[in-house]
Amino acid sequence: MTSRSAEPVTTGAPALEIQDVVAGYGGGDVLHGVTMQVYEGGITCVVGPNGAGKSTLLGTISGLLNPRLGRVSLRGERLSGKSPRQVLDMGVVLVPQNHSLFREMTVRENIVLGGYILRQRGLADRRLDSVLEMFPQVTEWLGKKAGSLSGGQQRLVEFARCLMLDPSLVILDEPSMGLSPKVLKSVFDAVRMMNKQGKTILLVEQNARAGLRLSTHGVVLENGRVRLAGSGSEVLHHPEIGALYLGGAVTAPPGSGTPGPDAPAAVPAAGAAAPDAGVAGSESAANGTAPR
Ligand SMILES: Nc1ncnc2c1ncn2[C@@H]1O[C@H](COP(=O)(O)OP(=O)(O)O)[C@@H](O)[C@H]1O
Ligand SMILES: [Mg+2]
């Protein structure tokens, strides 16, 4: 059971734990005490307005940014304070928000670069084979320049590249950005497939409704704080969140059901994140009653 079930999520213990993280750039803090978890075997989707700090959060996890306070840990081992290279070695790979392929290089060269820290040549070759098994359509593009591919195709190549390290945690920053709805579906299918192949996924999505539908867990980040966390379905169906981020019009795909007023109220950060991370009083009611 993955994306569409409204039932309690059956993913495992937290793979990644983010505790009271305060982080930012020279000008000041962007994250003001973020606490959340990414569950083993699940897809956790972080949504929130532009500038909320979503990419900053991902940068903090992947070692690009050191948190000023707080801690990030992967299965009990500290991640914060490690270099990006060390984080990669621990099996955590980020596919960044902006197109990150070398346009003048071939698709094959780009993918092989994803395995640049692999010391054994033979291992890199085997990884390439298994990556192409997972994304057979990429095989046809191997000899093409990456810059000649469509946006959706480039996304798949970026996914293929990140899999060269056989990561246990794949972090995707707005993979659907700039894609048409049809292409978006193929990218989301690829995310689901990576998850089925055993990758734990942390996903940031502007396309909040589609992202949450795909996900076992959802987190709403607002002004560098966790506003709400719960199962993907709980966050998706939260009336306030719906009004704020998901728009009035529901563009539900067939069979996904339409969120309505009878939808389960979201659990404020319960089970998925600590409720103290900047959640306003009205949200912190333990009974899960949604504020209206
Ligand atoms: N490299 C940077 N240097 C300084 N400020 C930054 C940098 N990157 C992002 N910011 C600022 O941090 C805030 C959060 O940005 P970001 O994490 O990219 O938000 P989101 O991904 O949610 O849109 C914004 O105010 C942005 O201007
Ligand atoms: Mg961003």
Residue-wise pLDDT tens digits, 257-286: 444 333 333 434 333 333 333 333 333 333
| Residues 257, 134: Cα–Cα separation, whole Å | 30
| Residues 36, 52: Cα–Cα separation, whole Å | 15
pTM: 0.82
How many other C-beta atoms are found inside a 10 Å radius of the C-beta of residue 77? Answer: 8
Select from 164, 162, 168, 156 the least CA-distant residue to 128: 164
**Selected residue with higher pLDDT from 288 and 207:** 207
9 phi and psi angles, rounded to 5 deg: -75, 140
Return residue ranges of the chain for CATH 3.40.50.300: 14-91+167-175+196-281
Ligand 1: distance of its center to the CA of 30 in Å?
7
Provide the 8-state DSSP code for 52: S
Task: Give Cα separations from 133 to 127, 137, 138, 140 (angstroms).
Answer: 10, 9, 9, 12
pLDDT classification of 87: cutoffs 50, 70, 90? very high
List residues near ligand 1 (CB under 6 A).
25, 27, 30, 48, 50-56
Ligand 2: distance of its center to the CA of 100 in Å?
14
255-289: buried (b, 16+ CB within 10 Å) or exposed (e) per residue?
A: ebeebeeebebbbbbbebbbbebbbeeebeeeeee
Whether residue 119 has pLDDT greater than 90: no
Vertex 152, ends 125 and 185: CA angle to 5°? Answer: 110
Task: Give Cα separations from 90 to 17, 73, 219 (angstroms).
Answer: 14, 11, 24
**Nearest residue CA, atom 5 of ligand 1?**
25
* Cβ contacts of 200 within 8 Å, gap of 6 or more: 15, 16, 38, 39, 40, 41, 42, 168, 169, 170
Paired tokens of 2: 């993955």
Ligand of minimum distance to the alpha carbon of 26: 1
CATH of segment(s) 14-91+167-175+196-281? 3.40.50.300
| Residues 195, 189: Cα–Cα separation, whole Å | 10
| Residues 252, 256: Cα–Cα separation, whole Å | 6
Paired tokens of 218: 């959802």
Ligand 1: distance of its center to the CA of 51 in Å?
6
Q: Looking at ligand 1, which atom is closest to the CA of residue 48?
A: 22
Ligand 1: distance of its center to the CA of 111 in Å?
28
Whether residue 37 has pLDDT greater than 60: yes
**Selected residue with higher pLDDT from 86 and 275:** 86
